[in-house]
Structure 1
Amino acid sequence: MLRAGTLLALGGTAAAVTGCGLFGREDAPDPAADPLAPLLAGALELAARHRIAVDGDPTLSDRLSPIAEAHRAHAAELARLTGATPSPTPPTPTGGVPTGDATAVLTTLREAERQGREAADQACAQAPAERAALLGSIAAARATHVEALK
């Protein structure tokens, strides 16, 4: 027969092993509170900026569409990692994208990518090891995007 102390110890061990409350009643973490939520939002915004630029000047499609697709892939992976459900409607970029002048469009996108790279660098430096590889890949991709937009 098990003593009360043994039962309490077993219950505590089970809770520690499963990583949840004693009976699994612990609420799921809020994906919006995840420190990577701003990086996810940034990836979606960068994808939207590139889409808007292509809509304004279809001659930029070959150059910008692969970059937009990379941002959408990063957003999907960040959403999976954080448990977030991205909105089915693409966000409206806060900084806007000029239209008509390809040079101005590329300059604006290059600056947005540079800022995005800095955000990814910072997130990577602060992330736990299990997230660092993805964040490092995102930072590297954004650095490549900066160069591709020159």
Structure 2
Amino acid sequence: MLRAGALLALGGATTSLTGCDPFDRDGDAAPAPDPLAPLVEEALALAAAHTDAAAAHPTLAGRLTPIAEAHRAHAAELARLSRTAPPSASAPASPATEGAPAAALAALRDRERAGRENATKACAEAPADRAALLASIVAARATHVEVLR
């Protein structure tokens, strides 16, 4: 009788310990990166492209500086929301600085369109608590395309 009770107790204990498997590797996996992390980097790259183009073409600075500031603000908010540390390294020089001002604007428009598409995709896939921010970024990038005409 004691032996049966001990086996029952032992059997019950082993079934309750199955979650404590020392060889369980599920806990070792690194958490997946936040889907907003690439958008942080993209926003900073867009800000750098506008800043570089404004420096290369001072006549465009009045149009480009506010756009660069908007991208930096978006990057900061995306980083806060995703708990992602923004990259500390600055982006390499942008091709938007080459050529005439019209060519710089065209290159920036192309980058803004690509960024808008990326933000649109992220918005469509995002949970509700992130969709509002992403939708405002999509709208801002659409506006940037128009300002760069």
TM-score by length of 2: 0.76
Counterpart contact for 2:52–2:97, Cα < 8 Å: no
| Partner Cα distance (1:118, 1:108) in 2 | 16
Who is 2:68 aligned against? 68
Instruction: Within 5 Å, give how 1:27-42 maps onto structure 2.
Output: 33-42=33-42
Counterpart contact for 1:57–1:99, Cα < 8 Å: no
Structure 2 alignment gaps of length 5 or more: 1-26
Cα shift at 1:89: 3.3
**Deviation string, structure 1 residues 24-43 (Cα, Å, up to 9, x no partner):** xx89x75x811111111110
Sequence identity (%)? 57
Who is 1:102 aligned against? 101
Q: Secondary structure at the match of 1:33?
A: coil
Letter in 1 for 2:118: A
Cα shift at 1:120: 0.5
Who is 1:149 aligned against? 148
Q: Secondary structure at the match of 2:96?
A: coil
- Over the aligned positions, Cα root-mean-square deviation in angstroms equals 1.9
TM-score by length of 1: 0.75
**Deviation string, structure 1 residues 85-135 (Cα, Å, up to 9, x no partner):** 113332226x62243400000000001000000001110000000000000
Who is 1:126 aligned against? 125
| Partner Cα distance (1:88, 1:126) in 2 | 27
